[in-house]
Structures are given as structure tokens and as C-alpha cells.
Amino acid sequence: MCDRMNGNEIYEKVSLKRANGVRIPRYLCFYNPEEVYLGLTRNTEVRKWHEFISNHYVPPRAKILLIYPCSAEKPYHLSRSYKVLFRTLSKLGEKRREIHLVTISEPFGLVPEEFYGKNTPWFDWSSMGYDCPGLFRWWCDKYKQPFNKEYFDKSIEILAEVIADYLRKAKKMNSYSRYIAFVRTYSSNLQIKEDHTHRKIIELASRKAKLNVELHPPKRIVKEIVRKKGKLAWDLYGVSHPIAQEYLLRLLEEAVSYED
């Protein structure tokens, strides 16, 4: 039945259920690549945030930049996946301060952790949310949304440029000594797919900025999760899976203990 939903029905039956104490307005929901592209180029809130991140935001000094996926539930910091992440980061103790966490988001690009749950002049993260699954082909197929490859590619390009602007600034200011992206790198079949939008955006942004952003977790960790727990474990939990989080903790412990 859900595959016959129009945009307003998707909003009522899917998007609104992703709000946890925030308002998700219909105009911040983007259900196919064309809607995402129009949001990136015409939506006032999205464009204001891109302008802020690209041209005005100053990255803080920290040893590590950690790029982490947005959650379907909004706001991020109250979602199950971020509570898992925060537990992992808390195990670093005082070293936690040496990691700057930013969320990679369609359509907002990057959202630094200091804005989680805050009302800012550019976007009210304390009371507003959004829903942007429109770049996932599997999602568009499920809900009978048109998937236009041209708009998909244009959207990836815009988001990559916003993130590249951030990376260029950070590189120029020597803000970080290491750049780590912990996103869905492979499918449960150990393939790289078009739906791995965060990987695609980060790879393109990294090339644009001429800066190495490490992509984690590696294939061997995904393979371990699938072998021990089954494909569904990775498909459902992704980087929130305990094995992935154990790997992230080891990675960060090594990164913050390294002396320049």
C-alpha cells in the first residue's frame, strides 16, 4: 500500500514519524532527485545554511575531524544512532575534546556538533527537522518516485562543493591533523553502490579540495559483521552496529594518541 503514496501521503505517514520533539515542515521534505535539486538551489533555509558553512563558519582547532551520517530521526542528537555514537565517544574520556564531530546531511551538507539542538540565525536546529531520502534509488522505487540521474548527479555535485569549501578552509587554517569519514562504505554484498551517497559526496569533495579524507569502516569490518551477524545486521544498523562502533573506537583511540 505504501508504494502508492503521493508526496503528501509520504509526508503524513513517513516523514512526520521521524520527528522527535521537532517540527518537520512539508517544504523541507525531498522525495526524489529533482526535489532534492530544487531544494538545494531554491529552498531558503538550505541555501542560507550552505552560505554560512561555505563562507562564514570557522572550523575549530581539533586533532580529528569526524564526519558521521545523519540519522533518519530528527534531531540527530536524540536519535538512537547518535546515542550509540555518543557512548562510543565518551569512552575516549578527556581525549574526546580532540575530535570535532560533524554530520553529513542531504540537503544541508555539513552540520557541526556545536549546532545540534540550537537555534541559529541560519537554521533553527532546536525546533526544526527535515526529511531527504530522495537521492536513494531504492527509496524512490519503493514509493514510486521518479529517479532522474541528471538531477541526482547535480545534487551530488552541489553537496560536494559545499563540503569541499569547508575542507579547503580547514586545510588553509590547519584546523585538523586528520580527516575521518565514518559512513556506509559498502553494501552487505561488499559492493560500492550508487545509493552510498555519503561516500560519493565525500570522495568528490575530497578531490575538489585536494585533501585526503579517510573512508571507514573498511571492507573487512563490513565483511566481519555480515559473516558473524548476517547481511540484515549491516543493512539495518550500518555504522551503528556494535562491531562497527568497536572499530571506530579503536580508530579514534589510535588517532588521538598519535603525537605530531
CB atoms within 10 A of CB 179: 20
Whether residue 51 has pLDDT greater than 60: yes
pLDDT in tens, 154-186: 999 999 999 999 999 999 999 999 999 999 999
- Closest C-alpha among 142, 248, 129 to residue 195: 142
**Minimal CA–CA distance to 57: which of 108, 99, 3?**
108
Mean pLDDT, residues 131-136 taken together: 98
**Average pLDDT of the residues in 66-88:** 97
Cell of 165: 569549501
194 versus 1: the higher-pLDDT residue is 194
The domain spans of the chain are 2-257
Give the tens place of pLDDT for each residue, 99-124: 999 999 999 999 999 999 999 999 99
Do 46 and 39 meet the contact criterion of CB atoms below 8 Å apart? yes
% of the chain residues with pLDDT over 90: 96
Return the pLDDT at 91: 98
User: Binning pLDDT at 50, 70 and 90, where does residue 258 land?
Assistant: confident
Separation CA 151–CA 214 (nearest Å):
27
Whole-angstrom distance, CA of residue 74 vs CA of residue 71:
7
Q: What is the per-residue pLDDT for 4?
A: 59
Architecture of domain 2-257: 3-Layer(aba) Sandwich (3.40)
Band (215; pLDDT cuts 50, 70, 90): very high
Cα maximum dimension of the chain: 57
Cut 0.85: pTM above it: yes
What is the structure's pLDDT at 259?
54
Q: How far is CA 51 from the centre of its chain?
A: 18
> Is pLDDT at 260 greater than 70 in this prediction?
no
Residue 232 phi, psi (nearest 5): -60, -30
Look at residue 2 in the predicted model and tell me its pLDDT: 46
For residue 201, the SS3 value is helix
pLDDT-derived band at 5, boundaries 50, 70, 90: confident
Confidence band of 191 (pLDDT split at 50, 70, 90): very high
Averaged pLDDT for residues 54-65: 96
pLDDT tens digits for range 9-21: 999 999 999 999 9
